[in-house]
Amino acid sequence: MGLFIRSKFPLLGVDVSSTSVKLLELSRSGSGRFKVESYAVEALAQNAVVEKNISDHRQVGEAIGRALKKSQSRARHAACAVAGAAVITRIIQEPADLGEEALETQVQVDAEQFIPFQSDEVNMDFEVLGASTVNPNNVDVLLAAARKETIELRIAALETAGLTAKVMDVEAFALENAVHEFCLEPAERDAESVVAVADIGATMTTLSVLQNRRIVYIREQVFGGRQLTEEIMRRYGLSYEEAGLMKRQGGLPDNYAIEVLEPFKETMAQEINRALQFFYAQSQIGAVDSILLAGGCAGIDGADVLIQAKTGTRVTVANPFQRMDVATRVRKESLLRDAPSLLVACGLALRSFD
Ligand SMILES: Nc1ncnc2c1ncn2[C@@H]1O[C@H](COP(=O)(O)OP(=O)(O)OP(=O)(O)O)[C@@H](O)[C@H]1O
Ligand SMILES: [Mg+2]
C-alpha cells in the first residue's frame, strides 16, 4: 500500500499554450499533502497554436504524445482548458428560490444575451456560487460558455495522444484554483486581500487580479519573451530554436547580460507597472497587496527585484511546488525551473480531486 492515494482515474493536467504543451499529474496523501507524480514540457511549432486557439490539432496532439511519453505517466484521462476570445465567463444573478430544472432553463435564457455565438455553436456550463451580496433573494451563478469548435479541437488533440478529455476547464479558473491552493500565504487567504498575478509568457502578458479567490479583473497585452528571443536572433545571428535554448541554458556572448538582457528586464518592469496603473485607473478595488510573478519570463534572474522596485509592491515568483513532494522519476531541477509557468497545469491537475 502506498502513502499517496491516487484517485480512481488519475487526471493529467494538460496545458496547451502558444509555445508548448505542459503536462502535470498530482497525487494527494491522506493528510492532504500533494505530490508531483509526473511532469513534462514539449515545445510546439510556431504556428500550431495561434492566439490561444489550436490551428493544427494533429501537430499539437503529436507534441502531447511526446510529452506523455517523456512524463512516463500512465494516466489516460486528461483535464484541459479553453481560453481566449472563444470563451465567455460571467457572473449573473438568478432568483434563489428556483428549483434545479427551472434554474437551468432560466440560466439558458439569460445566458443568450451574453453569448455572441449561435446557441447550437456553444457549450455552456454554470455553477451556483451562493447567495448574492447585492440582493439576498438572488444567487450568484457563474456562467462559462465556449465555442464547440474550440473544445472539439482540444479533444481531438488529446485523442491523437491517446488521452480522453474528462474535464474541460476554463484557463482563468484553473489559474484561480492553483493560486489559491498552492501559492498564497495564510495571510493572503484572507477574503479582503488582493493579489495580482502577472503572467509573462512568450507573446502575451496577462494581469489577473484576485480577491476572495476569484479573478475580479483581467487584462492582456502583447508583450513577452519572444521579444527577447528575437533580439538574440538579430544580434547573434541565431535561429529561433537556438536563441530560445541559449537564453535559458546560457552560452551567449559576454555582452548579452548588460546589452540585451538588462534592457529587456527594464521593459518587463515597465510593462507590469503600466498594467498595474491601468488596473488602478479602471477599478475601485484598491491597492494590490502583492504581485505573483508567473509565466516563463518570471524565471529571469532579478526580474522580481526590478518589478518590485518599479511598482512599489511586494513581488514573489510563483512556485506552486513549494509545499509539494516530488516523485523520484520527476526531474526536480527542470520542474523547479519551469515552476512559474506551470500554474495552469497545476490547476488542471487539481481537478483529479473534485
Ligand atoms: N529561464 C528562463 N529565462 C528566460 N526566459 C525564459 C526562461 N524560461 C522560459 N523562458 C521564456 O518564457 C517564454 C515561455 O513562457 P510560457 O511557457 O509562460 O509561455 P506561453 O504560455 O507558452 O506563452 P503565451 O502565454 O504567450 O501564450 C518563452 O519566451 C521562453 O523563452
Ligand atoms: Mg501563457
- pLDDT bucket at 114, cuts 50 / 70 / 90: confident
Of the listed ligands, the closest to the CA of 42 is 1
Taking the domains of the chain in order of start, what are their residue ranges?
A: 4-85+149-230+254-353, 86-148
Is the Cβ atom of 310 under 6 angstroms away from ligand 1?
A: no
Nearest ligand 1 atom to the CA of 49 is 27
- Calculate how far, in angstroms, residue 132's C-alpha sits from the geometric centre of ligand 2: 32
- Calculate how far, in angstroms, residue 295's C-alpha sits from the geometric centre of ligand 1: 6
Helical residues (DSSP H) of 223-296, grouped into ranges: 225-236, 240-249, 256, 262-282
Mean of pLDDT values over 256-267: 97
Indicate the CATH number for domain 86-148. 3.30.1490.300
pLDDT value, residue 3: 44
Residue that wins the pLDDT comparison between 7 and 61 = 61
Report yes or no: 113 and 155 within 8 Å, Cβ to Cβ. no
Identify the CA nearest to 279 among candidates 320, 235, 313: 313
Same fold, 4-85+149-230+254-353 and 86-148: no
Is the Cβ atom of 19 under 6 angstroms away from ligand 1?
A: yes
Tally the C-alpha atoms within 13 A of residue 166's C-alpha that lie toward its C-beta: 20
Helical residues (DSSP H) of 133-261, grouped into ranges: 148-160, 171-178, 225-236, 240-249, 256
- Tens digits of residue pLDDT in 281-312: 999 899 999 999 999 999 999 999 999 999 99
Share of the chain above pLDDT 70, in %: 98
- Tens digits of residue pLDDT in 190-210: 778 899 999 999 999 999 999
- pLDDT bucket at 225, cuts 50 / 70 / 90: very high
| pTM of the predicted protein model | 0.93
Nearest ligand 1 atom to the CA of 19 is 22
Nearest ligand 1 atom to the CA of 203 is 26
- pLDDT bucket at 9, cuts 50 / 70 / 90: confident
Indicate the CATH number for domain 4-85+149-230+254-353. 3.30.420.40
Q: Which residue has the cell 476554463?
A: 170
Q: What are phi and psi of 65, to 5 degrees?
A: -60, -45
Mean of pLDDT values over 217-221: 91
Is the Cβ atom of 206 under 6 angstroms away from ligand 1?
A: no
- Tens digits of residue pLDDT in 128-183: 888 887 888 999 998 899 999 999 999 999 999 999 999 999 999 999 999 999 99
